[in-house]
Chains A and B, each alone.
Chain A
């Protein structure tokens, strides 16, 4: 099976190609540059290098979020359109699950995260167990301080993985001190090769048309609108 993996859910842009279980190509950058402009040239270059034409692809694998809304959309739109137009399946993988795989063989808990501004993070809890990465607590958006106090009460070492580590390392180590393990530079960025591997092993869950990003949270306008509506309703009830 020839699988093409695409990840633009954060600043890290990754493209990976897997051929019959072998990772034949991986392209990754960790810079704040335009994904919309650079993704397609990166895909073209990599596929040319590994001598696989688009029509020889069997599956598209994409990091479905959470992450930057725009970033996720660039990857998902590209992946969906490639899959639909080539008549091949699309498989989505959580951007946090991809990152968690950098903690393979770690004995404790794994907490991959993506900065979500205003002290919040997208995160989940994973563990290496029975030869695979398992999700222990599902992906969510949460105040990092709340997440860390929850982890304080669990009597285990936690490996933290994130390309946004610089903004969060201090709060992590002050909350968990010796229980916190910080990944090294190569482990902090999601690897498209990992994405490709996870994606080739996953079941195909849905038709391409039905495939949507997983933003985890509603658009801000929608949240505000729902809050206003709830306010109205409770006011009406009070009267």
Chain B
């Protein structure tokens, strides 16, 4: 018997709904990005994101159901991002999901946003355990160990900025438009890593990350050069910054894989779109004989198919939410 899940994601600035069959087959995945609306503010404005979500939500739901060619009768459960994220944004998805679940008597499954990012990989290649996921996005930088479906152990996380945040801040310093990550990635390929920048290894054996020191080092380097009347080629700054970030991410992932004795690595989150990171992680995993999965770009950024995929597993595991489901901006992954 087939299982059909309707997924809903509104935790940040994408309004998305998706129909996923049997946890892995995407029947539709509609994503309405608000990036153009936030560009002029240089970042996501929570109130404006929330307003967009309310305006878009039923359009997106309808489009997902039409494209997926399903009716409410076909749907087994509704999965929605419960947190973490922007509270006002989360509330739109959560309340829409509760209304649907109530109106059509469907089970409701609250999903952790990061679990969604991890399960984007399940759509690409079925997950096998144990595994380790490197989660990199605008809001998250985490190493998550899983010994089975639905079991998450965060073994390392950032102590300050998320990696995507560091990219955006450095991009702003370099005068690049928002969002800056893709610009740095592109420029990095045109330049050379000639500028010495620190690597934040933290204490021995720690799988945590820290990017604020690196960010400050970039800002200081630019400042000092300016004082001396020198100009540093922006490509070289980008390349040097990116090299430092990637070296730390890849090394920590490899160390964690060794300690946890896993031979399967997943990459997840919006920064997984970074070509430099993809290339380096692919090469290193190959060298070490580790199996690596990286989702296509459309499944790296926020989307509801990943929420439906994670929701499908949670549903099978018997996890249910009730009418009192609420948006939880600081929800922990467990």
Contact = CB atoms under 8 A, between A and B. Distances in A.
A80 B50 contact: no
B47 A219 contact: yes
A86 B324 CA distance: 21
A73 B50 contact: yes
B326 A34 contact: yes
A225 B51 CA distance: 17
A81 B41 contact: no
Contacts of A34: 326
Interface in A127-156: none
B102 A86 contact: no
Among B45, B53, B62, B92, chain A packs the most CB atoms within 10 A around the CB of B92
Interface string A77-120: 11011101110000000000000000000000000000000000
Interface residues of B, number: 34
A70 B50 contact: yes
A44 B104 CA distance: 12
Nearest to B50: A73
Interface string A32-48: 00101111110110000
Given A73-B88, A209-B58, A225-B41, A81 B104 contact: no
Contact of B57 (A39, A41, A44, A77): A77
A220 interface: yes
B54 A81 contact: no
Q: Is the interface of A mostly helix, strand, loop or mixed?
A: helix
Contact of A77 (B40, B72, B87, B96): B96
Contact of A36 (B41, B48, B327): B327
B13 to A, nearest CB: 13
Contacts of A215: 51
Interface of A: 34, 36-41, 43-44, 54-55, 69-70, 73-74, 76-78, 80-82, 84-86, 208-209, 212-213, 215, 219-222, 225
25 contacts: A36-B91, A37-B326, A38-B324, A43-B102, A44-B102, A54-B102, A55-B103, A70-B88, A73-B51, A73-B54, A73-B88, A74-B91, A74-B95, A77-B53, A77-B57, A77-B92, A77-B99, A81-B58, A81-B99, A82-B99, A82-B102, A84-B61, A209-B59, A213-B54, A219-B51
Given A36-B94, A40-B99, A222-B48, 8 more contacts: A77-B54, A77-B57, A77-B92, A77-B96, A78-B95, A80-B96, A212-B55, A221-B47
